[in-house]
Structure 1
Amino acid sequence: MKKIMLAMVVMIVSNVLVYSQGEVCAVVVYTKGSVEVLRSGEKEYKKIKVNETLFPGDKIKTGKWGKASVVIKSGAEIRINGNSEFEISPEGELKEVVKLTIGQIWTKMLHKMGGVTIKTPSAVCGVRGTEADIEQRELLTVKVYEGHVDVENANGKQSLFAGQMTTVSGANATPQSPKQMDKKDIGTWQEKINVKDIEKIFENLKNAKDEKILKLKINKGGKEKEVEVKLKKKN
């Protein structure tokens, strides 16, 4: 029995070590409904839970009613709406780069120097010190609630400020001139995602490098006991 338990622990640890290659760059802080992750180097999506860490190349996918929120190391919370595909890109250097293939995200910076670059099929959105909503469907729609966002592709660039929005009809189209948002343009879906202790989560994430705590519940002597295994980057 002991050998079986040990084998199970080794199998779990080995799986997580594969996920832990590279430096931690984000942590999942909220999930609801169908939320799955495709780890870099893996072939299948798997369910992801709150407190799981994300690494460069990891992809998140939400179902129709799914919602999620992640905090990234550069100082932003990113909330993800349903029917979205989102990737932590390995291209980020000073500012994290994330890719929104399809779907909708809402971003909020957690400090004044926070920033993130959102790459979509239609344009690149440089988010700096901002609260913004970015949705990529047939059109790319960008709305700015606070601060500013630069929306740019090979055909042009537009700078948006609080209360403004723009659309882009594809990679070959020029970003439209900013226009003022009406009441009907203001989204509320992100308000249904409630994350507690966000500042504390961010501070813990800043100090994370290539380690991960794996918590296991084992049955010992008829009693359930939780043990922690500290994992480090696999060389």
Structure 2
Amino acid sequence: MGIDFHAEENQSSYIGRTADETWRKAMRTIVDPQGKKVMDIGCGGGIYCKAWVEMGAESVIGADFSEVMLKAAWDNCHEDRRISFIRRAAHATGLPAGSTDIVFARALIHHLPELDPFFEEAYRLLAPGGICIIQDRTMTDVLMPASPTHFRGYFLEQFPQLLVKESRRRPEDGVVQETMQKNGFVQISARGFWEVRRTYDQWADLEADLLARTGRSILHELSDKELRQLVTRIGEKVSDQQIIEEQDHWTIWIGVKA
């Protein structure tokens, strides 16, 4: 199956929450966004476009290949004139070379058939000294054990066949770093971190979020019946909590344009 990013029924899949302080703190340890121009490639519903301007970015351009995603992003962000959107492929934004200070891509590269064209474009877009920040999951991140805060672990425990999908699409750390180096980046590094995805006031809110497959493309690999089975199991683990905090483990890759 898989998610169709162009389907109107998935338009609201990547809105409805804000970037958590755990993410903001992680970004601030990498770069001071104050007064910077940011390019968010694969921006989805614009959640992180909003976060960058809230942290002081001068402007943010969000790019996505899906008109449906961009409509949601516009609805989400249109009140802030510092944010604009373009419909472009990740490897061909059409924007001027050297026009941005930060290129950011969250949960994008595992969807790309090739990494080289994207990193070539990211390097081209950056001004000298600009920084590229990639946030995605390796298989090490994917295989973090399940817990009452790490629900994704239950996905794989309940349906091990999802590991096949994940193993085919998840980037390897070494490959990402090698591709960045090949495309001109220097001072390349990688780090892992836990991001609080969302905090729920009650189980019913999380249950509805999971059943809608909100922001979780891997759940589109399950039938409705399988999804209900999974949600029931997660409910057995977490529904008695008064406040439910959902965390995801990520890898962040960083590279600088010399």
TM-score, length-normalised on structure 1? 0.26
Quick check: which has more Rg, 1 or 2?
1
* Structure with more strand by fraction: 1
* Structure with more helix by fraction: 2
